Amino acid sequence: MVFRNTGFIIGCMLAFYMPTFLKAQDQQFTQFYNSMVYVNPATVGNESVPRASFGYRSQWASLAGNLTGFTGAVDTYFKKYNSGAGILFNSGQGGVGGLYSTDLMSIYSYRVKFKKDWSLNLGMQLGYVFRGGTYYQYVFGDQLYLDGDVKNSSQENLNQSKNINYFDTGAGFLLFKEGTQIGVSAYHFTRPNQSVNGGVDRLPMKISATFSHRFILDYRATRTEEYYTSITPMIYYSWQGPYQQMSIGAMYDFTPFQIGLFYRGMPYLSQDGVINSDAIAPAVGVRYKGFVFGYSYDITISGLTNQSGGAHEIHLGYVVESLKPYKPKNRFKKKK
């Protein structure tokens, strides 16, 4: 039999299996470079001025059980104390109204300065997580007909399901200078129990590493503005439980615009004969007078194919420009 609405059926299947394959993974953002406070707590304060960032992701947008995620952060740096501080908010939902998770984290970092313009940030975060589900909106296997119709009720017993709350932690370091960043972070040290059905489901630790370096191709400055052309290769690797993922790509800047391309996957790893190759993601952005806008779209290249609708991601941000009177800058000038 041929299904008349394949996307609907796949969405129902995702809703049914969502508690199984979402239980051990944090949400991932293609534009990790625009949500670094989420990636590594040590990035708090590394801009040395106040900033705010907000990101939204809609994954598998064509399916009934698509995943959505939101992250927002505000942070600043206190030069007198060599310290940064910030607040991070995350929210994610999966399934047809199904599982949801909301995190609220407080973050602190301390900066150690070295010679030759290098600095080291040591960061840690502590917060609270709210997790649960609106199970009445799930579609279970006994509700499905082969012609695509769905029963109104299921025989599944959901009486054991409940909402849970728990503390969570994270830490990291960031070695950086103008144009270069190397960072490592770790989360979920206490491996909290995240089960919402009365069982035990320990959240695996998550380890992440990032690297980026900006190559300046051209630079000029006026009394009020900087203009430059550059290319910035980036790598983001994460490991959580049995899952590994890597994003690699580059952003090309020509003030105030950005374009980029990223590949997500680990093609040298395979499971059950399936190569770990997830998506190719073109990205565009604008940075103007402290405002930041970014958009990316994931073109699915895995077995799920673009029947899923890929993933849309939008980021907005603001970085307070220098709080001091303007002085001509030469940080990008090439050495003779």
For residue 28, what are the CA distances in angstroms to 9, 100, 118, 170?
Answer: 25, 15, 29, 16
Q: What tokens appear for 87 in the block?
A: 């607040």
Rounded-to-integer distance, Cα 163 and Cα 184, Å: 32
pLDDT for 290 equals 87
Rounded-to-integer distance, Cα 276 and Cα 267, Å: 5
The pairs formed by 186-194 with CB atoms below 8 angstroms and a separation of 24 or more are 187/26, 192/129, 192/166, 192/167, 192/168, 193/164, 193/166, 194/23, 194/129, 194/131, 194/164, 194/166
pLDDT for 127 equals 95
pLDDT for 4 equals 37
Question: In DSSP terms, which residues pair with 226 in a beta bridge?
Answer: 221
- The structure's pTM equals 0.78
Q: Are 199 and 172 in contact (CB under 8 A)?
A: no
pLDDT for 96 equals 54
Question: In DSSP terms, which residues pair with 288 in a beta bridge?
Answer: 291
Q: What tokens appear for 162 in the block?
A: 């409940």
Q: What tokens appear for 50 in the block?
A: 């106040």
pLDDT per residue rounded down to tens, the chain (336 residues):
333 344 443 444 443 333 334 444 688 899 999 999 999 999 999 888 999 999 999 887 666 667 888 999 999 999 999 999 999 999 987 655 567 789 999 999 999 998 778 999 999 999 999 887 766 556 666 667 666 666 666 656 555 456 788 999 999 999 999 889 999 999 999 998 877 766 788 889 999 999 999 999 998 877 777 788 999 999 999 999 888 889 999 999 998 999 999 999 887 766 656 667 778 999 999 998 889 999 999 988 876 555 667 789 999 999 987 544 444 444 445 544
The CATH homologous superfamily of the domain defined by 6-319: monomeric porin ompg (2.40.160.40)
* Domains in the chain: boundaries: 6-319
For residue 195, what are the CA distances in angstroms to 130, 132, 189, 270?
Answer: 12, 9, 17, 28
- HSE (CB half, 13 Å, CA atoms) of 288? 7
Sign of CA dihedral 162, 239, 316, 61: negative
Q: Are 93 and 68 in contact (CB under 8 A)?
A: yes
Question: 222-259: string of b/e by CB count within 10 Å (b at 16+)?
Answer: eeeeeebebebebbbbbbbeebebbbbbebebebeebe
Give the closest residue to 329 by CA, choosing from 222, 213, 194, 199.
222
